[in-house]
Amino acid sequence: MKKIRYWYSSLPLSSKITLLMALLITLLAGSFSLFSISFFNQAYSHETEQIARQRLELFAENLDRDLLAINNQIIETSTMPLFVRTIQRALEVPSKDLETLVNFQQFFKRIADSSPLIHSVHVITKDDILYSPYEQTSRTLGNDLSHPSLSHLQKVTLLPGGQNPFAPSRKSVPIVVALNLLGTSSYLELTSNLAADVFLIILLDEQALLEKINSPGSAFFSYTNTLLFQGVPLLPEAPESDSAMIRFATPTQINGLELMMSIAKRSYKPLVAFMIIITIITALLVTGGGSVLISRISRHITSPFSAMTKMVKEMETGSYEFDIKPRYADETGTLIEGMNSMYHTIIQQMRQIKEEEQQKYRYLSQMLTEQINPHFIYNTLEIINMEVINGRQENASDMIATFAAFLRHTLNQGEDTTTLAQELEHCRKYLSIMNTRLGLQILIFDDIAPHLELFEIPKSILLPLVENAIRHGFETSSMQAQTVEHPSITITAKQKEDRYSIGVIDNGTKGIDIEQAYKALNEKSAQSGHIGLNNVLNRLKLYFDDVEAHVSSIPGYRNAITFTFSIDPDRGAPSGIAALAE
């Protein structure tokens, strides 16, 4: 007992209340259930028996109507002179003849039409000749009428069901009617003599018979009906007698034929129905009686949790500013204090992470920019060196001045971004150097939307694209210019809704190997021949969202590399970009 008390005292408050309420409801429900089972089992056993007997009598009446209709039709047919003459002819002729068979067919149909229970009608003479609507072969009387029940033959005898000899896929219940000719008169009489002149055999369809005596189950219980003739079951699956079954039988208007109903005690649906009602009433009473107490306890327990729920929602929306003071010093108070502390810790860590991410972006941008510088410096110094060697000092001087301005922009420390207008001017200086080196007159144009001239982009982001345009558009492997009447490079910048695009277009005759260009976008090295495309893509991803690259080429007309992107002001992008996004 002490262990139980210790275990219970160590449970959380909510578990204690739940355990007590569950125990109380279980005890009440169990007590009322036991009482209800005992009471309603006695009360409704009697009612079930009355309902069963009423249903059984109703089924018997329905069955009697069909059986009496068959009986009346047999009597009516037996009094017809043509039928009697047909019987006489069948007895006189030692074998079947067509006229007798045709006459029998109309009487077979007449009897079969009297009830939907009838499958077929047949006649067997005392000479073992079978007249049937299905075949004209003769059969022996012993083979057709060898059932033990015929040892107590009545005028109308029902035999147990079995396979239909004329329809193997179906089962039937035979009715055997024994008929005798009255001397030389034109009358027939029913007989109980197995040596009768003819036997009228009516095959009842077993399935139709089962459906006739077994309608859908009662609303209170389930049952199974069967037929007994002289105490012998006529239908299959007659339930065995046991203590778990209740059986009722009622006679029909056919002598010796009874209809029996078998009910399983456990299927009493009235008991189940009333037990459900009692259970519902019990639950309602318990709920109503304890609602006041439960409500007070619930408010007392859940008020701190309601405060915490409000607190969490305000934290999610960022509107939580003041700490909620706990009202109690129990588990809920400890939890509220812990949530306050956790919230402030998370906010501090988020700010720290944001600052670290912004610093990381700056470091990465600076690193990628410095990866570009050695490449440009090497090529430009090579050009100036060649000019000096060839004695073109003025050209070398101009190139040095241009190169100095170029380096001033590129190596300006502390600035990670530049405007599109400044980047365009930077590209013009670079192209001037390359024109001098290659001896070309490549023109540079811009197609920049006016409102995007101050749009901030990563510094030197377009130079690799211009360099690729020159290399793949206007150079050959021998570094000689291709023949283009008006060589040009166009720098574009557009905006369509919330998507931006920047790119470089040239009209060089070499064009772009699109497959190699897309490969270069996903490679860190420049083995594919497209300088810095992966570098450009990665730098754009540091500042913008959903960056995509698009490459197209029509040599001599339009070769384009374009990058599209969107802006997220909260990502730590430059202020100018954030302002444009707003």
Task: Assess whether pLDDT exceeds 90 at residue 252.
Answer: no
Q: Which residue has the higher pLDDT, 63 or 333?
A: 63
The pLDDT of residue 99 is 84
The pLDDT of residue 481 is 45
The pLDDT of residue 446 is 94
The pLDDT of residue 549 is 95
Are the C-beta atoms of residues 490 and 452 closer than 8 Å to each other?
A: no
The pLDDT of residue 573 is 45
Buried b (16+ CB within 10 A) or exposed e, 306-333: ebbeebeeeeeeeebeeebebeeeeebe
Element (H, E) at 429: helix 420-438
Average pLDDT in the 495-500 region? 93
Give dist(CA 65, CA 479) in Å, integer.
114
Tokens 């125990």 sit at which residue? 23
pTM comes to 0.43
The pLDDT of residue 528 is 47
The proportion of the chain whose per-residue pLDDT surpasses 70, expressed as a percent, equals: 69
Q: Give the pLDDT confidence of 180-228 residue by residue, as tens digits.
A: 888 767 788 888 887 888 889 999 988 888 888 887 655 566 677 788 8
Q: Which residue has the higher pLDDT, 237 or 457?
A: 457
Structural domains for the chain = 79-211 (3.30.450.20), 380-581 (3.30.565.10)
The pLDDT of residue 493 is 96
The pLDDT of residue 264 is 73
Q: Give the pLDDT confidence of 506-556 residue by residue, as tens digits.
A: 998 888 888 988 998 887 654 544 557 888 888 888 889 999 999 999 988
Give dist(CA 460, CA 422) in Å, integer.
10
Report phi then psi at 132, rounded to 5: -140, 150
The pLDDT mean for the chain works out to 77
Give dist(CA 262, CA 246) in Å, integer.
6
Could you tell me which of 434, 458, 461 has the C-alpha nearest to residue 372? 461
Is residue 208 packed enough to be buried (19+ CB in 10 Å), middle (13-18) or exposed (0-12)? Answer: middle
Q: Give the three-state DSSP class for 11.
A: coil
The pLDDT of residue 334 is 78
Q: Which residue has the higher pLDDT, 14 or 175?
A: 175
The pLDDT of residue 580 is 38
User: 316-325, 343-352, 571-580: which has the highest mean pLDDT?
Assistant: 343-352
The proportion of the chain whose per-residue pLDDT surpasses 90, expressed as a percent, equals: 11
Q: Which residue has the higher pLDDT, 308 or 443?
A: 443
Would you place residue 285 in the very low, low, confident or very high pLDDT band (cuts 50, 70, 90)? confident
The pLDDT of residue 142 is 44
Buried b (16+ CB within 10 A) or exposed e, 105-127: eebbeebbebbebbbbbbbbbee
Give dist(CA 351, CA 572) in Å, integer.
12
